[in-house]
Amino acid sequence: MTDTILRKSIYLRATPAQVWAYLTDPEKLAIWFHKPKTPLVEGPYAMFGTESGTRLMWGEVLVAEPYSRLEYSFSIAPMGDQSSTVSWTLNEVPGGTNLSLSHTGLPQTAEAFDLILALDKGWDEHLARMRSSAHDS
């Protein structure tokens, strides 16, 4: 069996520093994703629904290399006690930044396929909101 890995890549009309803010700053994260109470730096984190205030995801920031790479463990209630890993890579390109996402360590069972589909769709929707906000700035 091969590992289930979600991969996404988008181009943004924004500098790597601006994109980094969208990945780590609570106010920017709230625009497109979920809101942590503090900026994402190495160590534990939790993110909350922007309207509900409910804890939606949690884990630990494993790598925080400003403007180039962010990696964190990713747990959500539907995963039970399992954890996966989200890795972001920022590459400066002429006119902006190429942002790549790799979400690894996902459940491998047929029963988990609906979760994989939901995460796949969710990342598409979240990244579309980031793109819209970054390009409106």
Instruction: pLDDT band for 83, please (50, 70, 90 cuts).
Output: very high
Q: What CATH architecture applies to the domain 6-136?
A: 2-Layer Sandwich (3.30)
What is the reported pTM?
A: 0.94
The domain segmentation of the chain, as residue ranges, is: 6-136
Residue 137: pLDDT band with limits 50, 70, 90: low
The predicted model gives 77-105 an average pLDDT of 95
Give the pLDDT confidence score for residue 69 in this predicted structure: 98
Lateral strand order in the sheet of 69-74: 6-12, 96-104, 84-93, 69-74, 55-65, 43-48, 35-36
Collapsed DSSP state (helix, strand, coil) of residue 76: coil
